[in-house]
Structures are given as C-alpha cells and as structure tokens.
C-alpha cells in the first residue's frame, strides 16, 4: 500500500534541501557531475530510510551526505591505488631484468643485489621466471594473498633502491 502522504513529505524534503546538499557536495568534490551523482545517492539513501513519522531534516541529510561522500572518497582512493599498482607493475615489467646476466653492471641488478635474499627471490620468481601470483605462492609455500602483499612490498623496495631517473631529453629547460 502506497502512503501518498509519505511521498508528499519526502518530495517536500527533496525540494527544500536538494540544492543545499548538492552545493555541500560540490564544495568537496572536484567534478560537478560527481556532486550531482552523489546528491542523487544521498536522496536514494534518504528514500530507503525515510520514516514518515520521524523528524528527518537538513541535518540528517547532511549526515547521509557525509557518509556518501566518505564512500566516494574510498572508491576514488581504491581506484587510484589500483591504477598506481598497474603502472608500477608495468614499469617493472618494462625493466630489462630478464636479459640481465649475473655479471652485468646494470642499475636494476645493482639495486636488486642490495635487497634481502627473500625479496630478491620473490622478484626473480615474478620477473625473471615469469611466474604468476598463484605459482609464486606455491613455490614459497604461502597463500596467494600473502604473496601479493609481499610482492607489492618487494616492488616498493626495489623502486626505492633504484637510482633516480635522469631528466629525459626534451624535459630539460
């Protein structure tokens, strides 16, 4: 059974506060379209939790907006972290480590030699032997999740050990 009085009260809440909620969100996100989508999410949540008998107003909507905004920030950060992980993996994959002979005086080889033996082993299994996470986990007797975390940390240690990149031609001023 549809409560038309509740619908009317929610519509009034929407008309009274939508612009305020959207402006609140616009001041906190870079993209106006994102703010509009987030405002729609706020009112979707508000509709789902709307209780015609409860005094729901502006403060409650702003609390919902803060929660929706927090979810948005976490999604954006996860996406950035994922994209950075992909870029990092691609950069390491692009390094010519597979062709480096043991006696080469290559910067990657020198950086690798400064790392702990277990870190070196993990990186060699991934990039020299071309094993995937599951295969490395099996070789090392670890879970795939633990292997993924250790590989991530190993990449970070290798990046830190590498010499800084020199300015590329055309980027110099």
Integer-rounded Cα radius of gyration of the chain: 26
Residue 6: the pLDDT is 80
96 pLDDT higher than 90: no
> Cα(36)–Cα(73) distance, rounded to whole angstroms?
15
Q: In sequence order, what E strands does the chain have? A: none
Point out the least confidently predicted range of 7-21, 36-50, 88-102.
88-102
pLDDT band of residue 134 (cuts 50, 70, 90) is confident
Please write down the HEC assignment for all residues of 143-161. Answer: CHHHHHHHHHHHHHHHHHH
What is the domain class of 99-161 according to CATH?
A: mainly alpha
The pTM (predicted TM-score) of the whole model is 0.49
Delimit the domains of the chain by residue range.
4-91, 99-161
């Amino acid at each position: 059974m549809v409560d038309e009085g509740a619908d009317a009260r929610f519509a009034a809440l929407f008309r009274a506060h939508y612009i305020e909620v959207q402006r609140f969100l616009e001041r906190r996100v870079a993209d106006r379209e994102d703010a509009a989508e987030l405002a729609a999410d706020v009112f979707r949540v508000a509709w789902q939790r709307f209780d015609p008998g409860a005094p729901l107003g502006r403060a409650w909507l702003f609390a919902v907006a803060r929660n929706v905004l927090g979810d948005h920030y976490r999604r954006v950060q996860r996406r950035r972290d994922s994209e950075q992980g992909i870029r990092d993996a691609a950069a390491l994959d692009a390094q010519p480590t597979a062709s480096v002979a043991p006696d080469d005086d290559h910067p990657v080889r020198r950086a690798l030699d400064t790392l702990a033996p277990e870190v070196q082993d993990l990186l060699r299994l991934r990039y020299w032997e071309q094993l995937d996470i599951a295969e490395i986990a099996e070789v090392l007797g670890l879970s795939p999740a633990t292997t993924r975390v250790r590989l991530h940390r190993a990449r970070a240690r290798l990046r830190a050990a590498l010499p800084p990149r020199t300015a590329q031609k055309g980027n110099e001023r």
